Amino acid sequence: MKMKKIIANSMQEATIQIKQQLGQDAVILNSKTVVKRKLFGLKKQQMVEVIAVLDQDFEERANQGLKHVPRVPVLPQKKEYVDKPVKEQPDAAQAINLAPSSIKPTEYARNERHVGMLPDSLMAIDQKLKDQGLDDALRDQCLKGLLIKGAVQEEQIEKELEKLLTEMLPAQGSNESVIRSKYIVLFGSTGAGKTTTIAKLAAKTAIQHDKKIAFITTDTYRIAAIEQLKTYAELLKAPLEVCYSREDFVKAQQTFEEYDHIFIDTAGRNFKEEAYIRELTDIIPFDESIQSFLVMSATSKYQDMKAMVNRFEHVPIDQFIFTKVDETDTMGTIFQIVAESQIGLAFLTNGQNVPEDILESSPLDLTRMVLK
């Protein structure tokens, strides 16, 4: 990315210089009136100071055929700049010529980021998003989107940034119930809090929605896990079946045929073990009647989350559930995973209380948690 500061007698003259020095695809970041003194300071002259940028890597990346991520803001094509009176405040994203963006965030060139010439308000936003855990590529998408919208004042930034970030996440039906299938299965690595989370979901479904529920567990590796789930089942007056094989699972389905929802707990194992993935699919038939949630801890590292999603690529993941949100101060990693995978976020858990400490989460909810 190449930046230039131009001082000229008029905006028209500055535009001509920008085209000459940076080319037709340059973008004006901001402009303002400055006063220059001439004749030993005796004479004042108003001039225009313009900062422009050229993304030199765009054409190269576009030629590589990189795929476009849905809902990432697209820059308008060939929008000609119209000469306007110079404003005292920065007037961002006045386009000379803008090429359409087809850059996938995860494939964005990792060159040095030049943000030193951005308005202070945008530099502050960039730092805030960085502190939340968003990587360079997503932050660049946000800054570009804000500049295109002309949002450089603080009162503009909040509204436009909220919209930009939300559009990067997979859409979610506003009237759609999160728990919508008969069979609900939770899976993930050890220590993520699956058993407690499934108890929260079951309790809310039974108590708040007056549904007839039952439990199945395939976690035959930890006696404590079975006892924990059995305790929850007794409190909710719900039956529980322990399944060691596909045959056991089919019998349990027949037993619970008249129930509204059956909540299925699975073993917490090292997700790097191929045997765990195989055992999961050997016992549970992941068909259209089963709604599956990958459970991950909000305190996990980004690379571990990403590796886990990739590990379960052959298991249908309908949505994510992130636990232990109360144990972290940043939500950027969660946002990053949801935006990159385009797998929706269903629930967040923020404590051990059953059933209170679980929250439904929409794309807008997640965006606001990142920003606030």
> pLDDT, tens digit, for every residue of 147-174?
887 777 777 888 899 999 999 999 876 6
- The whole-angstrom separation of Cα 7 and Cα 105 is 34
37 DSSP β-pair partners: 44
Which residues have CB under 8 Å from 44's CB, separation 6+? 35, 36, 37, 38
Residue 150: both structure tokens together:
């002309």
Q: Which residue has the higher pLDDT, 143 or 42?
A: 143
Provide the pairing of β-strand 240-242 with 261-265.
Answer: unpaired
Helix, strand, coil share (%) of the chain residues, nearest 5: 40, 20, 40
- The whole-angstrom separation of Cα 215 and Cα 229 is 8
Give the 3-state secondary structure of residue 40: coil
Provide the pairing of β-strand 27-38 with 43-54.
Answer: antiparallel
Provide the pairing of β-strand 183-188 with 94-95.
Answer: unpaired
What is the model's pTM?
0.70
For the chain, what percent of residues have pLDDT higher than 90? 37
Mean pLDDT of 27-48: 71
**Site of tokens 């990739």:** 310
- The whole-angstrom separation of Cα 343 and Cα 345 is 7
pLDDT at 198 (0 to 100): 94
Phi, then psi, of 186 in degrees rounded to 5: -115, 135
Highest-confidence segment of 36-40, 80-84, 85-89:
36-40
Give the pLDDT confidence of 298-309 residue by residue, as tens digits.
Answer: 999 999 999 989
Q: Which residue has the higher pLDDT, 117 or 81?
A: 117
- Looking at the predicted structure, is the pLDDT value of residue 92 above 50? no
Q: Which residue has the higher pLDDT, 93 or 190?
A: 190
Mean pLDDT of 301-330: 90
Q: In the chain, where does DSSP find H-type helix?
A: 11-22, 58-63, 120-132, 136-149, 154-168, 194-208, 223-235, 246-255, 274-283, 302-311, 332-341, 363-371
Banded pLDDT at 114 (limits 50, 70, 90): low
- Looking at the predicted structure, is the pLDDT value of residue 100 above 60? no
